[in-house]
C-alpha cells in the first residue's frame, strides 16, 4: 500500500469519528498522474448528490490531480479540479447519508493510496469540526509527549 496523497491539516482542524475505504472513478491518465505523485487533497471535501432514480451518489470535490505530462494531446481541455465519483456499495452509501444528516458532521478525504492490486483508493472519514480550545489542547498534548520522549532519550 503506497500513499499517493494525504490531507495533512485534516486531523488538526477536525475530529475523526469513522473511516471508510472508497474507490475513485478516474481516467487512465489521472491514475498515472496520481501514481506519479501529482495528486493533492488539500481543501477537498465529499458531497452527496441525488440522481433521477433517487440513488444518492458521493462525489469528491476540489481534489487536484494534475495533468499527466506524457499524455500529450490526449488530455486537451483537461480540468484538474473536476468532480470525481466515489465508488461505494449501497449499504455504505445509505449509512453515510444517514450520518450526514446529523448537524455538524462532514465527509472528508484523508488519504489517496494504491492497493496490492494496483487500484487507487481513497480513505474517507466522517469528521466533526474542532473548536479553537480543542486545537490548543491537542498542541499541548503533542508538545508534552515530545518533551517526555526527549528526556527519556537523553537519560
DSSP letter string, 87-143: E--HHHHHHHHHHHTSTTEEEEEEEEEE-TTS-EEEEEEEEEEPPHHHHHHHHHHHH
pTM exceeding 0.85? no
* 54 has a pLDDT exceeding 80: no
pLDDT at 21: 92
* 52 has a pLDDT exceeding 70: no
Distance, in Å, from the CA atom of 37 to the CA atom of 66, rounded to the nearest integer, reads 9
Would you place residue 74 in the very low, low, confident or very high pLDDT band (cuts 50, 70, 90)? low
Would you place residue 53 in the very low, low, confident or very high pLDDT band (cuts 50, 70, 90)? low
Distance, in Å, from the CA atom of 100 to the CA atom of 47, rounded to the nearest integer, reads 9
Among the listed residues 41, 39, 55, the one whose alpha carbon sits nearest the alpha carbon of residue 7: 41
Q: pLDDT, tens digit, for every residue of 103-123?
A: 888 888 999 988 887 888 999
Any idea where the domains of the chain sit in the sequence?
Answer: 2-130
Q: pLDDT, tens digit, for every residue of 115-145?
A: 887 888 999 998 887 777 777 877 888 888 8
* 23 has a pLDDT exceeding 70: yes
| Level-2 CATH architecture, domain 2-130 | Beta Barrel (2.40)
Would you place residue 51 in the very low, low, confident or very high pLDDT band (cuts 50, 70, 90)? low
Looking at the chain, the whole-number percentage of residues with pLDDT higher than 90 is 8
Distance, in Å, from the CA atom of 153 to the CA atom of 155, rounded to the nearest integer, reads 6
Would you place residue 153 in the very low, low, confident or very high pLDDT band (cuts 50, 70, 90)? confident
Instruction: List the grid coordinates of 147.
Output: 518533551
Amino acid at each position: 500500500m503506497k500513499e499517493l496523497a494525504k490531507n495533512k491539516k485534516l486531523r488538526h482542524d477536525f475530529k475523526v469519528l469513522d473511516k471508510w475505504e472508497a474507490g475513485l472513478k478516474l481516467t487512465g491518465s489521472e491514475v498515472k498522474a496520481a501514481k506519479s505523485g501529482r495528486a493533492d487533497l488539500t481543501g477537498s471535501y465529499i458531497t452527496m448528490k441525488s440522481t433521477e432514480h433517487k440513488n444518492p451518489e458521493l462525489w469528491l470535490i476540489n481534489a487536484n490531480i494534475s495533468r499527466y505530462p506524457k499524455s500529450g494531446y490526449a488530455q486537451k481541455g483537461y480540468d484538474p479540479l473536476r468532480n470525481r465519483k466515489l465508488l461505494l456499495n449501497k449499504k455504505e452509501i445509505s449509512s453515510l447519508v444517514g450520518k450526514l444528516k446529523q448537524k455538524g458532521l462532514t465527509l472528508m478525504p484523508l488519504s489517496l493510496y494504491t492497493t496490492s492490486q494496483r487500484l487507487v483508493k481513497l480513505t474517507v472519514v466522517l469528521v466533526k469540526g474542532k473548536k479553537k480550545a480543542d486545537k490548543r489542547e491537542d498542541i499541548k498534548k503533542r508538545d508534552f509527549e515530545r518533551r517526555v520522549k526527549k528526556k527519556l532519550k537523553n537519560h
